[in-house]
Amino acid sequence: MAATHRISGHGRLTPAKTVRFTFDGQSYSGLAGDTLASALLANGVHLVGRSFKYHRPRGILSAGAEEPNALVSVERDAARRTPNVRATVQELYDGLSASSQNRWPSLSFDVGAVNDLASPMFSAGFYYKTFMWPKAAWKSLYEPKIRAAAGLGVSPDQPDPDHYSARFEHCDVLVLGGGAAGLAAALAAAETGARVIICDEQAELGGALHFEAGTSIDGADGWSWAQATAAKLAAMDNVRVLPRTTAFGYYAQNFVGLTERVSEHLASPGHDLPRERLWQVRAKRVILATGAIERHMVFADNDRPGILLASAARTYLNHYGVAVGQNVGVYTANDTAYAAAIDLKKAGVNIAAIVDLRDNPAGALVDEARALGIEINHGRAVIKTGGRLRVSSMTIQPKNGGGERNIPIDALLMSSGWTPSVHLFSQSRGKVAFDDATKRFLPGTYAQDCVSVGACNGTDGISATLDEAYAAGEKAAKDAGAKAGKSAKPKAETSESWAGGMLGAGPGAGADTTVKAFVDFQNDVTAKDIRLAVREGMRSIEHVKRFTTNGMATDQGKTSNMHGLAIAAETLDKDIPAVGLTTFRAPYTPVTFGSIVNHGRGVLFDPTRKTAMHGWAEAHGAVFEDVGQWKRAWYFPKPGEDMHAAVNRECVTVRKSAGLFDASTLGKIEVVGPDAAKFMELLYTNPWEKLEPGRCRYGIMLREDGFIYDDGVVGRLAADRFHVTTTTGGAARVMNHMEDYLQTEFPHLNVWLSSISEQWAVIAVQGPNSRKIIEPLVEGIDMSDEALPHMSVREGKICGVPTRLFRMSFTGDRGFEVNVPADYGQAVWEALWAEGQKHGACAYGTEAMHVLRAEKGYIIVGQDTDGTVTPNDAGLDWAIGKKKTDFVGIRGLTRPDLVAKGRKQLVGLKAKDLKVVLEEGAQIVADPRQPIPMTMIGHVTSSYWSENCGRGIALAVVIDGRDRMGQTLHVPMPDSVIEVEVCSPVFFDEKGERLNG
Amino acid sequence: MRKYSVFALAREAMRGHKGWDEQWSSPEPRAEYDVIIVGAGGHGLATAYYLAKEHGITNVAVLEKGWLGGGNTGRNTTIIRSNYLYDESAGIYDHAVKLWDGLSQDLNYNVMYSARGVMMLAHNVHDVQVLKRHIHANRLNGIDNEWLSPEQAKEFCPPLNISKDARYPVVGASLQRRGGTARHDAVAWGYARAASARGVDIIQNCEVTGIKRAPNGAVMGVETSRGFIGAKKVGVVAAGHTSVLMDMAGVRMPLESYPLQALVSEPVKPVVPCVVMSNTVHAYISQSDKGELVIGAGTDQYISYSQTGGLHILNHTLDAICEMFPIFTRMKMLRSWGGIVDVTPDRSPILAKTPVQGLYVNCGWGTGGFKATPGSGNVFAHTIARDEPHPINAPFTIERFRTGRLIDEAAAAAVAH
Ligand SMILES: Cc1cc2nc3c(=O)[nH]c(=O)nc-3n(C[C@H](O)[C@H](O)[C@H](O)COP(=O)(O)OP(=O)(O)OC[C@H]3O[C@@H](n4cnc5c(N)ncnc54)[C@H](O)[C@@H]3O)c2cc1C
């Protein structure tokens, strides 16, 4: 279909460059440089969507980001569908396919529109007053219906194949907005040599110059000046120009989030381009040049397709060469709409009438309109419109009542003035102030190093804007440390006028409660809804907003907030500032999750940590488990083995011969310095001063409140040097905990802490043959029991590389932990493996490790303890230095409840039936026949099948557990009750003889 | 109070909704009240309502520095559940869930309590242990909570990604079917309306700046931005600002205040049928009746009273959401905001008398107190009216941090909300 509403000789697009697209399945053609909205209008299509609540037919209101109505779904392919795209910002590309939303079966015939007829029932907040009977119907009937009716577009249903990118950037001056003000400010800053970034949400910089035909700057027309200036800036090394980039969030300390749409406008973006890019910019100075947004007039039926903002109609004409109608009405309370009428008239469009609410509009623009023969009705209002899928008439009336007149039209332009865009200023925590003379909120008190210029600062008129912006750009650069600039500031002439404007409902919104005079189009909020909210006691503007949902749609109230506020203020009989403004919340316009997430998907969601021996484990068929960020070898199944069989074999082999275990993930911290022992005394419950160099000790660390925080074996390498190990999960937080105490509580201690978790790979060799496996590879360490007894550490060499060799055991059998520099981890492992093969040793994973330690009753902090367990509860009183007078948690330990009877204590549990393996987390009761709620006296913390014991074994915490040895207790499961006997937590080698076996 | 019903609505529809009353009145403060509640959040308003309804104490004022419901009540992600571990917590949260069930009818205000199910995901062996421990304890406490396989989890929530290739694959989930959401504003407004109808004065734009005590130490009333208001009983229910208020009476609270952020997407047709939470990947999500995806983050790392958090927190939260739901990368963030949450060392609330005679405190709900609103208000009203705790809130003392009798839900699960 050829575009019939394009006016030749108008606009800046090239007529030869046609682009095909479809809307709701119908094919159309547009021009390169069109937005979807301008291309639709060029084809005479005004009806593009349906409203949220009443399903009213809706057209295109604006030509920018403030669009509340023209939301469509854009689909490149099945996996690339984006709901709720504003047609006014979506650039056209060849093959673009868009469809309307929130209608069934079709846009022009939408069954949901019955809501419009029933609308008297659907007053603001009606749902709070009904749907309560019968009670059960809320869940089964009402809510499902409401949910299905709500929502605009449809969520994508396939993972997104595109990728998103991110950059961090610093600059001296960040300019937000690339209209005349932003360009002038950026130019002034850039010419000092300062590093400048300027961004604008539109495809081309220029802002309001898109439509302001009456402005010339430095002798050129405004638009050409803007393009030349943008090009000049882009060519400078110290400047980055970012079109299609929205500043969406202004955070603390001049940190601004920008999102750049990199390939959204391309027909075939290719795989190398990201779809969007997130810029996180820290700027020394920020210049806000975010412009102003035109408001609509509030009167009955102001929402029909074909009714749009005056500046939007002008943009469509002057930039896109599109006439929004052939017989156009204008309803205004300010001067700017006159310029729209004049431009259209000059382009050959009939202007049916200008209706101006003001009594005596005057000035050059008014005169010019009159001179062009346009009928001007001042002191009059449009009180309603006609038409169904497109506006067909307007009814006008003197504003204080009187005879009505019906005027046929096919489009209606409206303007009630301009709202400065203080969104980002407000996000920066600046306080706005109400300017009573011009009835608008302007930047008042600043909270960060930023400045507002141009229309967003309430500066009307291009000359004043350029002066202000240029000076601000120079000053910002200077404040950021740059030298003085050199160029001359731009000079402008203009015939544009911004005078006039009104807030709130016009006469057509009437006191009559049957009319629908829309304030917030998308959410279908009318003037009467706002009045109702006030009548119902909503006096704070935040209450009004929430009760009516005014300003809560996807446009975040860009056109509606000020009207809503004015109507509320009028109804309350208060001044606007006394009612207050709602908070501006980030983002400025909706931002895709993809843009914010950017690279953080899949494997890059969270770093995957692998040990030095990971490759070996993988090659040997290990199954891995996630432990924090680590991938740990869980078990090593041989062909045909399931997990159970593999773990049984591993457990038996370790106790019969030996096993190799990758313990590298344990946290390791080196505590060094003259006061290292003193520090250890304070951080751990155990005594350290007397521990000889070369010996190890199992240490327990408490929180201030006396509960176990972490544990691990600590080796004293020298008088002033400890090699501390922590749990895998505790590595980072124990380091932080230590630093915290060192810096805030014990700063007098001369101690340094280094995390060495990544520096050392750790190979545990456990089992009766462990020494035989290690000994041949070690140099310089006497490994005899006398020279290297259990719980000692030596430095020497293994396979020719340095090692810290610990003799320690987490299995209860003779054992060693070989620490080697991480780079040698796999080589040393392989050497040990080769030795191990001579003795029938195996590799074992975390599951076997868990079983083996449980057989010995060794706890795992975080599994057998949960932050409510004291050393005494865990049976570890022996680890508290009896003579110590201070350590973190010592006072906590003495609190009455921590020493009272009735605490849960660690015990072993044996099910009466040997074969039963209890479920971890299962609860324990004394009397299984009691009614629910039952009195629970403990729970199972660890439970395994122990092949070495030939039975299921479990650890549990039970109230007064140590006094219950031999008692029968019960574990009620959903389908049965399991009988268990309380026993010692040590199931294997109770005397501990195997440590030297 | 004019009763709300579909008939009343129809009647009003015919006459332009001219006949509705103010939902609550906005009177000038009187010189003295029997009870003053500081903070018109959900908990404060509920307290006032139950004082009037169940204890016949109607000479009550609720003082609010801003607009009622504008604190965390109006900022939270409205997850409701009661599958907490310890008996004490199960007691208070389930008391609340039982009240939620008939709340719309009781208040004659549709609070849209939607028992759509709360699912908590397990991603590793440790998560499984923790969730199962909860499930077993809940079952013996008579609280519904069941275990789901990844496939069952997906059936309950079709858009969930249960692929084994995920960075942290889903290995199972717990589900409380009675859990769900409610409409936060309606909760505040419903309680305000019902309390106001019973004679409670709700006084907004009235900041409490001091707590006045008699020579014997007992409370006499409060200094406010609108002058002194007398009362022998004062209940402080001020969430993130509780420490500041209690300090006015010389009581130091075991609380830290953190910013907590949330965001919503643009509205879309129904896609997430329930609440999904994951503690391991750190995010949770539900979909409002309006169609917005409601997404919550973790707290900032540092304590602060600033209601804006950093972008990096949202960044991490959305990473996690798109991990669980890779189909959502083209959804758009519409609004983000923060609230100040009051966190106790054991992550359980304080609902108690204080060392100061006539001063009561209800705080420490941290990141998860919305769900408790009816239950909390109910037992706190009892505590104030009788000057002794209800058995349900008796364990939630301030002294427990001194004695060590903690109710450590954080330690037990580190699960928020
Ligand atoms: C982002 C976010 C998400 C959350 N998500 C959930 C969730 O999913 N589920 C859940 O159960 N909970 C959630 N919570 C927690 C929940 O919001 C709170 O625990 C609960 O709402 C607290 O209610 P309240 O009435 O005690 O506090 P608030 O609603 O904060 O009320 C306290 C009131 O005290 C007023 N006040 C403070 N100081 C003074 C003073 N000096 N004078 C007078 N008035 C004063 C404040 O203005 C405020 O209105 C979330 C919280 C946040 C911030």
The CATH number for B79's domain is: 3.50.50.60
Task: Quote the pLDDT of residue B417.
Answer: 45
Query: Rounded to an integer, what is the distance from CA A898 to the centroid of its chain?
Result: 42
Tokens coding A893: 């330990």
Q: Are residues A823 and A769 in the same domain?
A: yes
Number of domains in chain B: 2
Taking the Cβ of residue A193 and every Cβ of chain B, the question of whether any pair is shorter than 8 Å is answered with no
Phi-psi region at B387: left, alpha or beta (left = phi > 0; alpha = psi -120 to 50): left
Q: What gap in Å lies between CA A252 and CA B341, rounded to an integer?
A: 20
Q: What gap in Å lies between CA A158 and CA A456, rounded to an integer?
A: 40
Task: Quote the pLDDT of residue A513.
Answer: 67
Q: Are residues B95 and B187 in the same domain?
A: yes
Taking the Cβ of residue A641 and every Cβ of chain B, the question of whether any pair is shorter than 8 Å is answered with no
Task: Answer yes or no: is B3 within a domain.
Answer: no
Task: Quote the pLDDT of residue B415.
Answer: 43
Write the CATH number for A930: 2.40.30.110
Write the CATH number for B283: 3.30.9.10
Choose the weakest-confidence range: A205-219, A498-512, B377-391: A498-512
From B343, B371, B387, give the residue that closes a domain: B343
pLDDT at A543 over 70: yes
Q: Are A229 and A183 in contact (CB under 8 A)?
A: yes
From B328, B343, B358, give the residue that closes a domain: B343
The continuous run of DSSP H or E covering A315 comes out as helix A310-318
| Substitution site in B50, B79, B99, B367 for ligand 1 pocket (most atoms within 8 Å of beta carbon) | B367
Q: What gap in Å lies between CA B146 and CA B136, rounded to an integer?
A: 9
Q: Are residues B203 and B231 in the same domain?
A: yes
Domain assignment of residue B42, given as a range: 29-109+183-254+346-413
Verify whether the Cβ–Cβ distance B4 to A132 is below 8 Å. Answer: yes
Lay out the sheet containing A96-99: strands in order across: A26-31, A18-23, A96-99, A71-75, A81-86
Task: Quote the pLDDT of residue A511.
Answer: 67
Verify whether the Cβ–Cβ distance A540 to B70 is below 8 Å. Answer: yes
Q: Are A460 and A444 in contact (CB under 8 A)?
A: no
Task: Quote the pLDDT of residue A592.
Answer: 97
Task: Answer yes or no: is B5 within a domain.
Answer: no
Taking the Cβ of residue A934 and every Cβ of chain B, the question of whether any pair is shorter than 8 Å is answered with yes
Choose the weakest-confidence range: A482-496, A904-918, B9-23: A482-496
Q: Are residues A752 and A764 in the same domain?
A: no
Q: Are B185 and B342 in contact (CB under 8 A)?
A: no
Of the candidates B19, B58, B62, the one whose C-alpha atom is nearest the C-alpha of residue B197 is B58
Q: Are residues A172 and A241 in the same domain?
A: yes
Task: Quote the pLDDT of residue A176.
Answer: 98
**Interface mutation target, options B11, B17, B85, B146, chain A, most CBs of A under 10 Å:** B17
Three-state SS for chain B is CCCCCHHHHHHHHHCCCCCCCCCCCCCCCCCEEEEEEECCCHHHHHHHHHHHHHHCCCCEEEECCCCCCCCHHHCCCCEECCCCCCHHHHHHHHHHHHHHHHHHHHHCCCCCCECCCEEEEECCHHHHHHHHHHHHHHHHCCCCCEEECHHHHHHHCCCCCCCCCCCCCCCEEEEECCCEECCHHHHHHHHHHHHHHCCCEEECCCCEEEEEECCCCCEEEEEECCEEEEEEEEEECCHHHHHHHHHHCCCCCCCEEEEEEEEEEEEECCCCCCEEEECCCCEEEEECCCCEEEEEEEECCCCCCCCCCCHHHHHHHHHHHHHHCHHHHHCEEEEEEEEEEEECCCCCCEEEECCCCCEEEEECCCCCCHHHHHHHHHHHHHHHHHCCCCCCCCCCCCCHHHHCCCCCHHHHHCCCC
β-strands B172-176, B118-122 pairing = antiparallel
The per-residue pLDDT for range A793-832, each reduced to its tens digit, is: 999 999 999 999 999 999 999 999 999 999 999 999 999 9
Domain assignment of residue A428, given as a range: 165-292+420-494
Task: Answer yes or no: is B124 within a domain.
Answer: yes
Q: Are residues B189 and B335 in the same domain?
A: no
Verify whether the Cβ–Cβ distance B266 to A606 is below 8 Å. Answer: no
Number of domains in chain A: 6
Q: Are residues B172 and B301 in the same domain?
A: yes
Q: Are residues A848 and A961 in the same domain?
A: no
Q: Are residues A772 and A744 in the same domain?
A: no
Q: Are residues B379 and B236 in the same domain?
A: yes
Residue in chain B closest to A594 (alpha carbons) equals B329
Task: Answer yes or no: is B400 within a domain.
Answer: yes
Which residue(s) pair with B235 in the sheet?
B37, B360
Q: Are residues B330 and B264 in the same domain?
A: yes
Angle between helices A180-190 and A222-234 (to 10 degrees): 40
The 8-class DSSP code of residue A82 comes to E
Write the CATH number for A220: 3.50.50.60
Tokens coding A361: 């509009």
Per the prediction, chain A carries an average pLDDT of 95
Q: Are residues A766 and A752 in the same domain?
A: no
Instruction: Compute, in angstroms, the gap from residue A464 CA to the centroid of ligand 1.
Output: 46
Q: What gap in Å lies between CA A771 and CA A798, rounded to an integer?
A: 13
Q: Which sign does the torsion angle of CA A324, A330, A335, A338 carry? A: positive
Confidence of residue A118 (pLDDT cuts 50, 70, 90): confident
Show the ligand 1 pocket: residues with CB < 6 angstroms. B 38-44, 63-66, 70-73, 75-79, 207-208, 237-239, 241, 245, 260-262, 296, 339, 341, 365, 367-371, 417
Which residue(s) pair with A249 in the sheet?
A257
Give chain B positions within 8 Å (CB) of A593. Answer: 265, 318, 321-322, 328-333
Per the listing, tokens 């990473």 go with B319
Q: Are residues B362 and B265 in the same domain?
A: no
Confidence of residue A133 (pLDDT cuts 50, 70, 90): confident
Q: Are residues B237 and B358 in the same domain?
A: yes
Write the CATH number for A555: 1.10.10
Task: Quote the pLDDT of residue A647.
Answer: 98
Q: Which amino acid is at A789?
A: P
pLDDT at A510 over 80: no
Task: Answer yes or no: is A401 within a domain.
Answer: no
pTM score, two decimals?
Answer: 0.96
Q: Are residues B292 and B319 in the same domain?
A: yes
pLDDT per 10-residue tile (average), chain B, 417 residues: 91 89 96 98 98 98 97 97 94 96 97 96 94 96 97 98 94 97 98 98 98 97 98 97 97 95 96 95 94 93 81 94 96 95 94 98 96 98 98 97 89 52
Q: Are residues B230 and B142 in the same domain?
A: no
Give chain B positions within 8 Å (CB) of A539. Answer: 26, 67, 204
Q: Are residues A796 and A656 in the same domain?
A: yes
Q: Are residues A651 and A774 in the same domain?
A: yes
| Substitution site in B63, B65, B76 for ligand 1 pocket (most atoms within 8 Å of beta carbon) | B76
Mean pLDDT across the stretch A892-912?
96
**Closest Cα to atom 35, ligand 1: which residue?**
B39
Task: Answer yes or no: is A259 within a domain.
Answer: yes
From A841, A867, A893, give the residue that closes a domain: A867
Q: Are A205 and A243 in contact (CB under 8 A)?
A: yes
**Interface mutation target, options B329, B334, B337, chain A, most CBs of A under 10 Å:** B329
Task: Quote the pLDDT of residue A1.
Answer: 43
Task: Answer yes or no: is B234 within a domain.
Answer: yes
Contacts of A373 (CB under 8 A, 6+ apart): none
Task: Quote the pLDDT of residue A3.
Answer: 58
Q: Are residues A689 and A558 in the same domain?
A: no
Interface predicted TM-score (ipTM) of this complex, two decimals:
0.96
